[in-house]
Amino acid sequence: MSVTIYHNPRCGKSRQTLELLRRRGIEPTVIEYLKTPPDEAALKRMLGLLGMPARALMRTKEKEYKEGGLDDPNLDDDALIAAMVAHPILIERPIVLAGGKAALGRPPENVLKIL
């Protein structure tokens, strides 16, 4: 089974999730999403697999969230996805994709349910 992790090496949870996968003998495809951000279609696909609205995948404490007025409850998923595409730092991490499923590694053990 192919496994992909959208990873930020500066994030502790992301590093822990990657280590958890490797301890289980899984060497995933690592996408450093700040260097290679997902496009709109990929982000929509991930959200669908995660079964969550765009707002639930946003890092609300980032300055881009506050400065962009993204706390406005009237913004729809398309507007929030566009903001995440423009500012990938807003995307919560890590996201692991495996076998047509996705999980957010918060906590890292969440990814075990899709393996």
Question: What tens digit of pLDDT does each residue of 43-97 get?
Answer: 999 999 999 999 999 999 999 999 999 999 999 999 999 999 999 999 999 999 9
Q: In the structure, what pLDDT confidence band is assigned to residue 1 with cuts at 50, 70 and 90?
A: confident
What whole-number distance in Å separates Cα of residue 7 and Cα of residue 16? 10
CB 7 within 8 A of CB 32: yes
For strands 95-98 and 29-32, give the pairing: unpaired
The rounded mean pLDDT for the chain is: 97
pTM over 0.85: yes
The topology (CATH level 3) of 38-91 is Glutaredoxin (3.40.30)
Q: In angstroms, how far is the first alpha carbon of the chain from the final one? A: 8
CATH, domain 1-33+93-115, list 1.10.10.10, 3.30.565.10, 3.90.1170.50, 3.40.30.10: 3.40.30.10
Q: Is 60 a catalytic residue?
A: no
Same topology for domains 1-33+93-115 and 38-91, yes or no? yes
Check residue 47 and give its pLDDT. 98
What whole-number distance in Å separates Cα of residue 57 and Cα of residue 53? 7
Catalytic residue among 8, 10, 11, 23: 11
